[in-house]
Each structure stands twice: as structure tokens, then as C-alpha cells.
Amino acid sequence: MSNILIQNIKGLVLSHDRKVSGLKMNDLPLIENAFLLIEEEKIKDFGEMKDSPERADEVIDATGKFVFPSWCDSHTHLVFAGSREGEFADRINGLSYEEIAERGGGILNSAQRLQKTSESELVEQALCRIEEVRGFGTGLIEIKSGYGLTVESELKMLRVIKKLKPQTDLTIKSTFLGAHTFPMEYRSNRKGYLDLIFNKMLPQIADEGLADYIDVFCEKVAFSPEETIEIMKAGAKYGLKPKIHTNQFNCMGGIQASVAHNAISVDHLEVVNAEEIEVLKKSETIATLLPSAPFFLNDHYPPARQLLDANLTVALATDFNPGSTPSGRMSFVLSLACVKMKMTPEEAINAATINGAAALEEDANFGSITRGKVANVFITKSMPSVAYLPYSFGSDLVERVILKGK
């Protein structure tokens, strides 16, 4: 059996073993002057240096460095074709994200590009992005469909995600987001598109085992709460649990609908009202915040402090996509969480590790330094403290990545 021993770790960041909520998120378990022993794919042991084994197949000296559990990025749209910097310039010149969407840009722009791109080309582009986020310290990631918007292209996207899995040591979970927006030809026949999702997409997805979750973009420019409910119900018939895009621009009942249908998470939450916080308090649904989206759209940030004060479970993710967030850099998400949402570095790290894992129902296997969990960790460059990571927002502090013990 092969093993790796990391010694003299200045700070071994443990995170919590299971999801953590509210003010408890400010507690970040950490061992100073520590060792970490990895055996095969798993975390075998860890503790203070004085208790460290002496030998291993490979010994890494981490003097002055920190070791973190890999980031768990529970919300991305990492499979896409090309880029949309034209819309970036349009927004600089005064158009809003919603205006661009209404005139057929935005998601539809990406859908047009994706429909014309082959499966193998999409795999190639996505693998480059996966390689990039691996270097940023991400080890578990969710990827959504939603730039297909036809039966053929939604299936193509999900098959691409499936093909990525054996080609990377990141662990990937897949989400069906056929309900990302209405294709142009269905804008006056919304029911027609829903029927396509119900009768053509979902049965085939289930047949091929292509998705773990179902998502809907519940928003004025996309799907209503009533439509969202219908789609969640249809997904449930095939065992797909909901993770829902909601409250990005408007409070319109998306949180209430999602909670009523046992959503694993509600994602975005740039706008949330008191009633919605009450509804979340009575649920197990995780509030997943994506602050690099409002950063890039120059919009306002989710009220993270209110959510934490209400004792909710908050996760952080990138939302990596070509429109609202062309970045998969988790450390920047942490910096934004601290600066713009007043989360402490400790809260942000718990949110980006164990709570991200919980938002993918993987907190038994990922998201913390726990004996028996998958050995997904990164070693930083020399740094003085944990807070230094979100503080030095422009630096690349991830020096070495170990995923599944390799």
C-alpha cells in the first residue's frame, strides 16, 4: 500500500466533519505544527507533529505552509462553448444582464454556440477548465447542463459531463438544467418546452443515468415558481433532487417553492426577504452564495450576515459560466465573501469546503480532513495565517494539489 506523509505543517485546516450552520461556522478546527498521513486514496491519520510516524513512501515537508481540504465547488456551468466577452462590453456600455437576456443574448447566445460544437470539442474545452480549477485547489465539483436547450444538445452536454468523469481526478456531480431559459421558438409556447423536458429529456436522462440533480432558473427572465414546481415534481419521478437557481434578481417565491420540494440547495440569493429567511430556517436546504456573479455583473451581494444570524447553512461556490462568472477561482470567491458579504475567513472556509460538500450530499466523503475521507487536499505556499488566503486576493497561494491521494 502506498502512502504519503506531510510533515511540519504550520497549520492543518480541518474544517468540520459534517455541514455546519450559522455562528458555528466561525469556528474552524485547525492543528498547528501538524502531520497528515495519506494511504492510497484516503486520509489515514493526522495530528500534532510529536505523534507523527517517521517514515512513508513519500515524505513532504510543509514547513511554513498550510494544508487545506480541497474546495468543494457545488455550483458551476463549466461545460460551455466559447466565451461572451461581447456582452461584457455591452454591460460596460450600459445594458443590464436582464436586458441582454431579453433580446436573445445571454444563455441563448451560449446555447447557439454549444449546439454547433461537437461533443469532443466540448470535452476538450471543459478539460482545460478542469485542469485550471484543479490548480486553484478544487477537488469536488458540480457541473450543470443548460446551454443545450434542445433534446439533442441537453443530452450532448450531459454526455460530455459523463465523459469528463474518468478523465480527471476531480470528483464530478452532474445536474440537469434544461430549464435554464426558454428557447426563442418556445417563448410564446412555454408549455411546449416544458413538455419537451418532461417527455423527451428527462426519460432519456434517467435511462442513461446522466444526472444526479435537477435545477431550474427561477426568475422573471426565465421560469416562474409554478413552472419550477412542475419541473421539480417531474425530476422527482426520476429520483433527481432539486438544486435551484433563485432570487438572483427578484424575490418571487422561488425559495418557498424549492423548500417545499426538499431542495438540497437554493443558489444565488442576491435578494432575500425576511419571510424567505423564515422559510429557510425551518428547512435543511443549504443557502449557496455565488459572490463572483454579482461582482462580475456589478450587482448587489447576498445578505450573508443575515443568513448566518438566522443559523442557516451557507455554502460558497463559483458559478463558473461564460456569462455572469467567467471564473472558477474559489479563493477569489472567498475574498469576495469576506470583503463584500462580511463573512469571516473561518466562515468562508467552512462554506467553501464542508458546506459545499454537503450541498452535493458528499459531506461523508469530502470537505474536511477526517480519517477515512477521500484524500483531497492542497498545500499552500508559505503564509502567516489562515486569513492570509482570502486577504491576498490576487496571489496564487496553492502550491501543490493532492486528489484521491495522488
Candidates 69, 242, 291, 322: give the one binding ligand NIG (CB under 6 A): 322
227 lies in the binding site for ligand NIG (CB under 6 A):
no
Candidates 3, 248, 353, 376: give the one binding ligand NIG (CB under 6 A): 248
270 lies in the binding site for Fe ion (CB under 5 A):
no
Q: Which residues pair with 43 in a beta bridge?
A: 38
Spatial CB neighbours of 168, under 8 Å, sequence gap ≥ 6: 127, 130, 131, 134
List the one residue out of 283, 391, 278 whose CA is nearest residue 334: 391
321 lies in the binding site for ligand NIG (CB under 6 A):
yes
| Residue whose C-beta lies closest to ligand NIG | 323
What nine digits make up the cell of 121?
A: 470539442
What nine digits make up the cell of 348?
A: 468562508
Q: What are the residue ranges of helices labelled H in 93-168?
A: 97-102, 107-115, 119-136, 151-164
Amino acid making up residue 344: T
Q: Give the binding range for ligand NIG (CB under 6 A) out of 197-205, 227-235, 280-288, 320-328.
A: 320-328
| Residue 15 CB, nearest approach to ligand NIG (Å) | 25
* Residue 70 touches which of Fe ion, ligand NIG, none (Cβ within 5-8 Å per kind): none
73 lies in the binding site for Fe ion (CB under 5 A):
no
330 lies in the binding site for ligand NIG (CB under 6 A):
no
Candidates 270, 319, 362, 363: give the one binding ligand NIG (CB under 6 A): 319
Q: Pick out residues in 272-301 that bind ligand NIG (CB under 6 A).
A: 293
The 8 Å CB, 24+ separation contacts for 182-190 are 182/222, 182/223, 183/108, 183/111, 183/149, 183/150, 184/104, 184/108, 190/227
Candidates 87, 319, 347, 362: give the one binding Fe ion (CB under 5 A): 319
Task: Count CA atoms within 13 Å of residue 212 on its CB side.
Answer: 18
Candidates 11, 69, 106, 356: give the one binding ligand NIG (CB under 6 A): 106
Q: Which is nearer to ligand NIG, 111 or 374 (CB)?
A: 111
Contact call for residues 1 and 41 (beta carbons, < 8 A): no
* Residue 193 touches which of Fe ion, ligand NIG, none (Cβ within 5-8 Å per kind): none
Please state the separation of Cα 172 from the chain's center in Å: 10
Binding residues for Fe ion (CB under 5 A): 319
Give the binding site for ligand NIG (CB under 6 A). 106-107, 110, 217, 245, 248, 293, 319, 321-324
